[in-house]
Amino acid sequence: MADIINVFDVYQFMSIENIIFAYTGTFEHFITTVLLKSIKNELKNAKGGVDKKVYNVVVESIENISKYSLNEDEKQNSGILLLCKAETKYIVITGNVILNTDIPMLKDKLEKISKLDREELKQAYREQIASKRTHENRAGLGIIDIALKSGNNMKYDFQPNTESTSFYLFQTEININ
């Protein structure tokens, strides 16, 4: 009976938070393609270019999961994606298990990007495109793009999971104007 109650709790949470799309599992190419088609269909009634902004943020968020997943055989690119619609905004939430060794670099990038205004974000985007990709700067272009599309409405957290891993939560909001 406990399993049924847990499912009901999930249903209630999803209803309260206006979750219009939810997925948990691996983000393999085929699955990602199907997810993105479903999300595009879900966004077809959005107006004023909001659909393109939300879609772009979802794509970059999925890429974020792919870049920072544990990459163990059974957990490769595994995570969660939620798309919520409130009265004035869409909310994209992702989460996945990452190595604790990746946290300082990722946190540093997120903190720096979240402090930039729109013009500084555009400049950082141009600089990132022109730079050579290395492990140290791999968290950049996608997160900058998310910050630009969302108006820099980003939140993140790292919840301890094991001695060597944490659950990386990332949330961004795109205003409906």
Contact by Cβ (8 Å): 167, 158 = yes
Looking at residues 3-11, what average pLDDT do you find?
Answer: 75
- pLDDT at residue 17, as a whole number: 81
Q: What is the pLDDT of residue 94?
A: 95
- Torsions phi, psi for 97 (to 5 deg): -80, 130
Burial label for 96, CB within 10 Å (0-12, 13-18, 19+), is buried
Could you read off the pLDDT of 8-40 as tens digits, one per residue? 887 888 888 889 999 999 888 899 999 999 999
Asked if residues 156 and 171 have their Cβ atoms less than 8 Å apart, the reply is yes
Q: Which structural domain range is residue 111 located in?
A: 2-175
Count of domains for the chain: 1
CATH (domain of 10):
3.30.565
Hunting for tokens 């944490």 — which residue is that? 166
Q: Is there a contact between 54 and 174 (Cβ–Cβ < 8 Å)?
A: yes
pTM, full prediction? 0.86
How many Å is the Cα radius of gyration of the chain?
17
How does pLDDT run across 59-77, given as a tens digit for each residue? Answer: 999 988 887 776 655 446 6
Q: pLDDT at position 5, please? A: 65
- What pLDDT was estimated at residue 9? 82
Mean of the per-residue pLDDT values for the chain? Answer: 86
- pLDDT tens per residue, range 130-170: 877 655 555 578 999 999 999 988 999 999 999 999 999 99
> Given this model, what pLDDT does residue 108 score?
93
